Amino acid sequence: MVRKHLPKPSSIPEPTLVRLTIYARSLRDALGDGQTVISSDDLAMRAGVNAAKVRKDLSHMGSFGRRGVGYDAALLLETIVQAMGQTKERSYVIVGAGKLGSALLGYNGFHGKGFMAVGAFDTDPSKIGRSIGGITVMPVDELERFVMAEGVDIGIVTVPAPAAQKITDTLVRGGVKAILNFAPTVVVVPGCILCRHVELSSELEVLAHYLNSQGD
Amino acid sequence: MVRKHLPKPSSIPEPTLVRLTIYARSLRDALGDGQTVISSDDLAMRAGVNAAKVRKDLSHMGSFGRRGVGYDAALLLETIVQAMGQTKERSYVIVGAGKLGSALLGYNGFHGKGFMAVGAFDTDPSKIGRSIGGITVMPVDELERFVMAEGVDIGIVTVPAPAAQKITDTLVRGGVKAILNFAPTVVVVPGCILCRHVELSSELEVLAHYLNSQGD
DNA sequence: TGTTGTGAAATTGTTCACAGCC
DNA sequence: GGCTGTGAACAATTTCACAACA
């Protein structure tokens, strides 16, 4: 017998997850504009995608739009926030208090929305003790102990490439459940640990490739 | 085997382009380790992907590996650099000299590898005139004139969301051919202009989603 | 033997197009 | 008339598996 199974905890495809975060932001904008109902067409425009994709993406979370009308903006926003798992507050530390680390500490959207910076770490004595975005920079020596004691959820790595793997290992020993790596190198983690890698420099290189292939 | 015709300017799929930049870095590492020949398996390990994908990706640029042996690391690196279009130097400006903008100005891999920062801009009088990574911050009023006069290729946008569209329009009027947008908002550009959008905050949110769906 | 290069298969993601409902 | 929800068609990407070859 063919049986359509309910979506498993995370059957939502990853490209959809990324777009959901953009829809959420677009909905906040729309609500700010005083809009209470929004169509897939309008949301698509705001998010820079097409309407079919919006509807398909939203359908992963159920059906709650009104045909002929659109979606209740507030309800839709809440549904997305729920689906993204932002109901539970997550703590994170940033390792590497250089420019990028500082930028992320102050970044709205890291800072708010269910995420809480609880510590920053660096090896540079001139940075230790300084306060960045309300967080005091601590020495890396204390990273593992701190992460363990505080039960930190996520470690954000913004150290130079050669140090990234060692820092990652320390975070894992401390018990983080996920790593977000901005260092320009691949790091390996045990299978049970989630890890995402943000390749900042690829963006510029891919752009350059398209420029060239367009005939400069 | 009969030589297949060369791939068209950009028939290379985008996921492959992104990985090519990672292979390039891995090859530099390998060369640094004194390795002159590298197998798809080894490269895959270093780049954090599987070997089949490496071979498929490389095949988009032709065939120059040696069966039973592997690839000449230096030749492969050069081939990738060529394919990525990093033979031509590209100039860029950064608009928004806050933490993120400063981080990118100092970022190795933006800085080197065929990319050249030629200007930084901000509206904040306290930042104007300051030097960041050897680049003096100029007032945004001068952005359009500067971009036009210098023939700047790429504009990198690191301003707050509400200002992003206006800055993008200014860059486009100035004649940039591509935009790299780090502002947490969608910007629209004319069809002839390339635009990439980096969503920093999505990364953390997607990570949190997977954490939740794993059962915390 | 060891490793590449590549069609074919499998999987994943996007778009279409329209029934169903407001 | 307008707009959602969705199966089906389509497109892109990944993986498999093995022939070709040093």
Question: Is residue A40's beta carbon less than 7 angstroms from any atom in nucleic acid strand C?
Answer: no
Question: Is residue A206's beta carbon less than 7 angstroms from any atom in nucleic acid strand D?
Answer: no
Question: Is residue B111's beta carbon less than 7 angstroms from any atom in nucleic acid strand D?
Answer: no
Q: Chain A contacts of B201, Cβ < 8 Å?
A: 21, 107-110, 113
> In sequence order, what DSSP letters do the residues of chain A get, joined into one string?
----PPPPTT-S-HHHHHHHHHHHHHHHHHHHTT--EE-HHHHHHHHTS-HHHHHHHHHTT----BTTTBEEHHHHHHHHHHHHTTTS-EEEEEE--SHHHHHHHH-TTTSSTTEEEEEEEES-TTTTT-EETTEEEEEGGGHHHHHHHHT--EEEE-S-HHHHHHHHHHHHHHT-SEEEE-SSS-----TTSEEEE--HHHHHHHHHHHHHHTT-
Low-confidence winner among A52-56, A88-92, B31-35 (lowest mean pLDDT): A88-92
Low-confidence winner among A70-74, A157-161, B3-7, B166-170 (lowest mean pLDDT): B3-7
pLDDT digits (tens, 9 = 90+) for A193-211: 999 999 999 999 999 999 9
Single pTM value for the model: 0.93
- Spacing of A17 CA from C13 C1' in Å: 13
Instruction: Please state, rounded to an integer, the average pLDDT across all residues of chain A.
Output: 92
Task: Tell me whether residues A9 and B213 touch, CB distance under 8 A.
Answer: yes
Q: Tell me phi and psi for residue A176, to 5 degrees.
A: -65, 155
| Cα Rg of chain A, angstroms | 20
Could you tell me which chain B residue has the CA closest to the CA of A213?
A: B9
A10 Cα to chain B: minimum distance (Å): 6
Q: Mean pLDDT for each consecutive 10-residue tract of chain B (216 residues)?
A: 36 96 97 97 98 98 93 97 88 96 84 86 98 95 98 97 98 98 96 95 94 83
- pLDDT of B7: 39
Considering only CA atoms, which of A12, A78, A175, A155 is closest in space to residue B212? A12
Best B91, B99, B107, B196 member to test A by mutation, with max A CBs in 10 Å, is B99
